[in-house]
Amino acid sequence: MTTRPSTAHLIKLVNEGSNQDFDIDEVLVNKNSRLVGQSVQQTEAHRRHGLLFVAVWSASKEIRFNPDLEKNFQRGRL
């Protein structure tokens, strides 16, 4: 079940073949990554590169969709 309207809208765009140009990819945060210890907001990924964090998948396989801006990355997260 999708409870966040923005996530539901994104899924709808993907399923309907929207004419929006976007890619979905995943990045493994290893122990030497500059992301370790930084929050989503501190990465400035959206401001600098227009990136959107759709979800964070922890090493324990927990998925958090639309992660909080203050959520810190840890090694082993995807």
Measured CA to CA, the distance from residue 19 to residue 36 in angstroms comes to 34
User: Residue 5 pLDDT more than 60?
Assistant: no
The string of DSSP letters for 13-70 reads HHHTT-S-----------TT-TTBT-BHHHHTHHHHH-----EEE-TTS-EEES--TT
* pTM of the model as a whole: 0.56
pLDDT of amino acid 77: 53
Domain ranges of the chain: 25-78
Give just the sign of the alpha carbon dihedral 20, 55, 48, 24.
Answer: negative
pLDDT of amino acid 17: 66
CATH number of 25-78: 3.30.70.1450
Higher per-residue confidence, 30 vs 19:
30
pLDDT tens across 22-75, in order? 677 778 888 888 888 888 889 888 889 888 887 887 777 788 887 878 877 776
